[in-house]
């Protein structure tokens, strides 16, 4: 299975990526992990990225694209992969399409996790984070669901006004990817509502219908 996940912040892409990658026995490839691995290893690409980050600048698409393309040459992607957090814009999607076509490994599906903005704001703004271990807990929790710590707080990026801005940025920069993959004929959309298991089951059911 060669798959990518798309959807707004708060849709649960990271959580679903882990379960789907395990189900299909494919690597979960996130841009965050790729960046950290390159920075830690001190690769040429990692050093290029670090130079931009040290100046407080965004890492350009060209460096991000090269990191992802390099990751997709590793042996563990022979039976497929799940991309999470990439591509973030249509320009990156074009580069990915060309690279995969060249290697005769086109994407089989772009799975969109669809959820209303007001539901995302409600979900994320009610979240609390543990100062001790950094894990997130649901609304109403008095102790951390991970370490049982009692010092829970609301992160700045979980405040309603910040979430609303993040959703605007997503709409402007990333949502055109949905139209891109719809035109490619590989977009599958499922609602990101219900329990984690219910959403995973819906995703697997949708993916099972691929020709």
Give the catalytic positions in this structure. Answer: 13, 88, 127, 155, 166
Other CB atoms within 10 Å distance of the CB of residue 121: 20
104: its two tokens? 């005769």
CB 21 within 8 A of CB 28: yes
Rg, the chain, Cα only: 18
What secondary structure letter does DSSP report for 56? T
Q: Which residues contact 63 (CB under 8 A, 6 or more apart)?
A: 45, 48, 49, 52
Residue 73 CA to residue 93 CA, distance in Å, equals 17
44: its two tokens? 């040429």
The sign one gets for the Cα dihedral 89, 91, 92, 98 is: positive
Identify the CA nearest to 7 among candidates 186, 201, 175, 172. 175
Task: Point out which residues pair with 30 in neighbouring strands.
Answer: 84
**By CB neighbour count within 10 A (0-12 exposed, 13-18 middle, 19+ buried), where does 50 fall?**
middle
């Amino acid at each position: 299975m060669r798959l990518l996940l798309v959807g707004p912040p708060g849709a649960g892409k990271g959580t679903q990526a882990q379960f789907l990658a395990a189900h299909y026995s494919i690597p979960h490839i996130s841009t965050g992990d790729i960046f950290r691995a390159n920075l830690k290893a001190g690769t040429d690409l990692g050093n290029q990225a670090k130079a931009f980050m040290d100046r407080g600048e965004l890492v350009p698409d060209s460096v991000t694209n090269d990191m992802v393309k390099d990751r997709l040459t590793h042996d563990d992607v022979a039976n497929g992969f799940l991309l999470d957090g990439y591509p973030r814009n249509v320009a990156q999607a074009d580069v990915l399409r060309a690279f995969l076509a060249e290697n005769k490994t086109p994407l089989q599906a772009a799975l969109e996790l669809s959820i209303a903005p007001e539901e995302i704001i409600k979900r994320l703004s009610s979240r609390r984070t543990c100062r001790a271990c950094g894990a997130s807990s649901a609304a109403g929790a008095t102790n951390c669901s991970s370490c049982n710590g009692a010092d829970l707080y609301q992160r700045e990026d979980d405040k309603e006004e910040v979430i609303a801005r993040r959703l605007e940025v997503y709409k402007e920069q990333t949502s055109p990817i949905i139209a891109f993959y719809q035109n490619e004929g590989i977009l599958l959309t499922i609602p990101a509502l219900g329990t984690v298991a219910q959403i995973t089951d819906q995703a697997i059911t949708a993916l099972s219908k691929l020709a």
